[in-house]
Chains A and B, each alone.
Chain A
Amino acid sequence: MATAKLSAPASQWAIGGRNPADLRRSTLLPAASPRRVAAAPIRAGSYSDELVQTAKSIASPGRGILAIDESNATCGKRLASIGLDNTEANRQAYRQLLLTTGGLGEYISGAILFEETLYQSTTDGKKFVDCLRHENIMPGIKVDKGLVPLPGSNNESWCQGLDGLASRCAEYYKQGARFAKWRTVVSVPNGPSALAVKEASWGLARYAAIAQDNGLVPIVEPEILLDGDHPIERTLEVAEKVWAEVFFYLAENNVMFEGILLKPSMVTPGAEHKEKASPETIAKFTLTMLKRRVPPAVPGIMFLSGGQSEVEATLNLNAMNQSPNPWHVSFSYARALQNSVLKTWQGRPESVEAAQKALLVRARANSLAQLGRYSAEGEGEEAKTGMFQKGYTY
C-alpha cells in the first residue's frame, strides 16, 4: 500500500501531473475565469509532525495546563494581594516556587509563561524552560498583545498582536517554547455584536496559522466572559455562534486541526444570574456545545476557569469526564490552580514548601477530574471561595 501523502507540494496535485498554467491554456476555462477555491494544498509545513506530537503530549490523560502567563501588571495584582511589591525579583521568586515544584509533571503537561518568564532562570541560575523540560512539562508562551477597544462595536474589545507575530514566535521557539496562547474575549451583555465575534474569530485564525508556521501549537482561546445576568441557554447560543465562526476561519486559514488546542470557557449562567447551575448542568450544556462544534481531529480542549472557585472549576471538569469523549477534555487554569498557593506562600521563604504542596493538591485534584474520578471530600474553605470579579481585566 502506497503511503498516503497528505503533504504533497502544489506541483504534485496538479491535474494529471500537468501544472495549472497548462490547464488554463486549454479550452476548459472561459476567458474571464471565476476565482478557484484555494489552490494551495493544506499547508503541511515543516513542523507538522512536531506540532501533532506536542499537542498530544499536552493532551495526555490525567494532565492539564498550569497557566502562569500573567502580564507584569496582572502579576503585580497577585503579589499586592499578599502584600508584596511588583518587582522582577518577586515575580521571579513566585514563578520559581511554582516551576520547581517536584512531581508537578505528573499532573501538569504544559505551562503557559509570560515573555519575561520564558527568559528567566531560578535564583540558582537554572533556566525556567529547563526546569519544565525536566518535569516533562511543555513550555508555552503568551503571544498576544492584549485587549483594546474595538471601534464601531458596542463598547467591546479586540485582541491585538499580529504585527511581528511570526518573528516573535520564531524567537520563542528558539528559546524553548512549543506552544502559544492568544486570549480574546466576547461579552454577552454587550451583544455580542457580529463585528466583535468576527474580529475575535478572524484574529484567532490568523494567529493560529502563523504560530503553526513557526513551530508553536496554538491554543485557541475566545473567552466568553462570565459577566452578565444571562441564563445558561444564552451562553450556549453565543458559544455555538462563536465556535462556528472560529472553526470556519481556522479552516479558511489552512490551520492543521491535529496541531491545535482549544481553551474555551465552560457554558454556565452569567455571574449575576439568579440561578446557579450544578456541575451536571454545566457539563451537559458544555458537552452539547463541544459535540456540535469541535471536530474530533482536535486533540485537546483545555478549559479556562474564568473566576470560578478552585473547587467549582474542579467539580465542573469532573462532571464533563464521566463518560469517554472524542477529545481530551482537561484544564488550563490560572487562578483556580494558584489561589491557595499564593495565600499559603504570603511571600515567606519558609512557606515555599507548604505552598508547593498546595499547588500539588490542586493539580492532583484536577488531574483526577480529567479522569472523571474526583471527589470533593476534604477540600478546604479557601478552595471553595469564588474568584469572580465584575469587569475583571487580566
Chain B
Amino acid sequence: MASASLLKSSFLPKRSEWVAARPSAAQPMAVSFTVRAGSYSDELVKTAKSVASPGRGILAMDESNATCGKRLASIGLENTEANRQAYRTLLVAAPGLGQYISGAILFEETLYQSTTDGKKIVDVLVEQNIMPGIKVDKGLVPLVGSNNESWCQGLDGLASRCAAYYQQGARFAKWRTVVSIPNGPSALAVKEAAWGLARYAAIAQDNGLVPIVEPEILLDGEHGIERTFEVSQNVWAEVFFYLAENNVMFEGILLKPSMVTPGAECKEKATPEQVAEYTLKLLHRRIPPAVPGIMFLSGGQSEVEATQNLNAMNQSPNPWHVSFSYARALQNTCLKTWGGRQENVKAAQDALLTRAKANSLAQLGKYTGEGESAEAKEGMFVKGYSY
C-alpha cells in the first residue's frame, strides 16, 4: 500500500510549457505545495491521540503570573514565585493524576520550574504519563477598528519560541483568542481571531507542537442559546477554512471550544441536555472527523455544571474524542482546600483527583453526580473576566 509522500516536483508541467500554454494575462496558480507533511507529522498524530485518550482530559494550569496572583490572593497568599511553585507542585504531584489527566497546559515560568523537591516539573508530568503543554500566545489587546473587541498577539518569534519549548519537553501548545457576542461580534474580530489561530497552528506544527485551537466565545451577555449557536457556526467555519489554507494537518490538532450555552445574563438557563444538543449539533456541522479531540473549556461554569454538561455530550459515541480542558472547573475546590497550608496539601490533591475523576467519568458518559459538595456547584462566572 503506497504511503503519501511529499510532492515530487517532476510531475508539475515545466514552466516553459505552462507559460506558453496560458493566455497573456498572468493567471495565479493554486498553491503547488502538498499539505506539508513536515518532519514531526507522526509524532504530532501520536501526541494528539495520547491527549485524546478515552477517559482522560486536560488540566489547564497555564495562568499567567498576574492571573495566578489572583488565585493566590483569593486564599490570602502573596504572588511570589515560591508560592506559584508550591501551588503548581501540589497540582502536578497529585498521585495517580495521570489516570484521568492526559495533558497539562503550563505557563512559561512553570515549564522551566522544578518542584519544591528540585525535580523538573516536566519530568514529574511525563512520569505521570501526562503530556506537558505550553501557552504560547502573548495575550489579548484591543483590536483597532472593531467594536471594542480584542485580538490575540503572539506570532512574532513564535517559531523559535515553540522550538525552545519543544526542547524543554513541551509537546503541545495553546493559544486562546476570544470573541464577544455583545460586541457584535464584528466580521473583523472573527476574521482576525480565525486567521491568528490558523497561523499559530501552522507554526506550532512546524516546530513539533500539537496546537490546541481555542477561539473562546465569551459567556458574557444576555443572548439566548440560538445566538451562541449562530456565532459559533460562523466562527468555526472561518477557523477551519483558514486552517486548511495554512496547510495545517488536522490529524495533529486539538480543539478547545466553548460549549454552546445561553449568555451568562440570559434569563433562561439551559439544562445539560440542551447544552449537549446544541453543542453536538455545532460539532457535527463544523468538525471533520480527522480532528482527534475536542477538549472543552469551562469558562466560568461551576465545577459540577462543567462535568454534567460534558457527561451529557458523551451519552452516545461521537466521531471525535469529546473531553475537557478545564482550569477553574478542576482547580477551584483544590485551591480553597489548600489555603496555602502545607498540612492541607494531601486533602487538596484529593480534591483535585475527585474533580479529575468526575470529569473522566463524564468523558465516558458515566458520571452520576453522587456526593458532590456545595462548593463544587458554585458558579464561577465573573462579568468581564479577563484571564
Contacts and interface: CB of A to CB of B under 8 A. Distances in A.
B186 A36 contact: yes
Interface in A210-264: 229-234, 236-238, 240-241, 244-245, 247-248, 251-252, 257-258
Given A4-B278, A192-B30, A237-B34, A16 B266 contact: yes
B148 to A, nearest CB: 8
A106 B267 CA distance: 52
A245 B241 contact: yes
B30 A238 contact: yes
Contacts of B169: none
B25 A326 contact: no
Given A4-B274, A153-B27, A34 B187 contact: yes
A191 interface: yes
**Which of B5, B33, B188, B224 has most chain A Cβ within 10 Å?**
B224
B157 interface: no
A82 interface: no
**Which of B21, B185, B281, B289 has most chain A Cβ within 10 Å?**
B289
A8 B226 contact: yes
Interface of A: 1-2, 4-6, 8, 12-13, 15-16, 28-30, 33-38, 41-42, 152-155, 189, 191-195, 197, 229-234, 236-238, 240-241, 244-245, 247-248, 251-252, 257-258, 277-278, 280-281, 284-285, 288, 291-297, 326
A2 to B, nearest CB: 7
Contacts of A15: 182, 221-223, 227, 263
B230 A278 contact: no
Contact of A241 (B31, B148, B233): B31
B273 interface: yes
Contact size class for B?
Answer: 35 or more
Contacts of A285: 4
A83 B296 CA distance: 64
Interface string B204-218: 000000000000000
B245 A244 contact: yes
Contacts of A292: 250-251, 288, 290
B244 A241 contact: yes
B282 to A, nearest CB: 9
Contacts of A232: 2
B273 A194 contact: no
Interface string B2-15: 10110110010100
B341 interface: no
Given A34-B145, A35-B186, A295 B30 contact: no
Report the 3 A-B pairs with minimum CB-CB distance, sorted nearest first.
A244-B244, A251-B237, A34-B186
Interface in B213-259: 221-227, 229-231, 233-234, 237-238, 240-241, 244-245, 250-251
B277 interface: yes
Given A28-B182, A154-B27, 15 more contacts: A4-B274, A13-B230, A37-B185, A154-B23, A197-B30, A231-B8, A233-B5, A237-B34, A241-B30, A247-B240, A247-B241, A280-B1, A281-B2, A294-B289, A296-B287
Contacts of A252: 237
A16 B1 CA distance: 58
Interface in B287-304: 287-290
B184 interface: yes
B285 to A, nearest CB: 4
A37 B187 contact: yes
B344 interface: no
B182 A231 contact: no
Contacts of B11: 229-231, 234
A10 to B, nearest CB: 10
A165 to B, nearest CB: 23
B28 interface: yes
Contacts of A154: 21-23, 27, 29
B146 interface: yes
Contact of A36 (B25, B187, B277): B187
Contact of A326 (B1, B185, B289): B289
B238 A34 contact: no
B286 interface: yes
B319 interface: yes
Contacts of B271: 1-2
Contacts of A234: 7, 11, 34
A42 B222 CA distance: 20
Contacts of B222: 15-16
A238 B286 CA distance: 21
A41 B228 CA distance: 11
Contacts of A34: 145-147, 184, 186-188
A278 B187 contact: no
Contacts of B221: 15
B238 A248 contact: yes
9 contacts: A6-B229, A15-B263, A29-B147, A42-B229, A229-B11, A234-B7, A238-B30, A257-B284, A296-B319
Contacts of B230: 13, 38, 41-42
A209 to B, nearest CB: 14
A257 B285 contact: yes
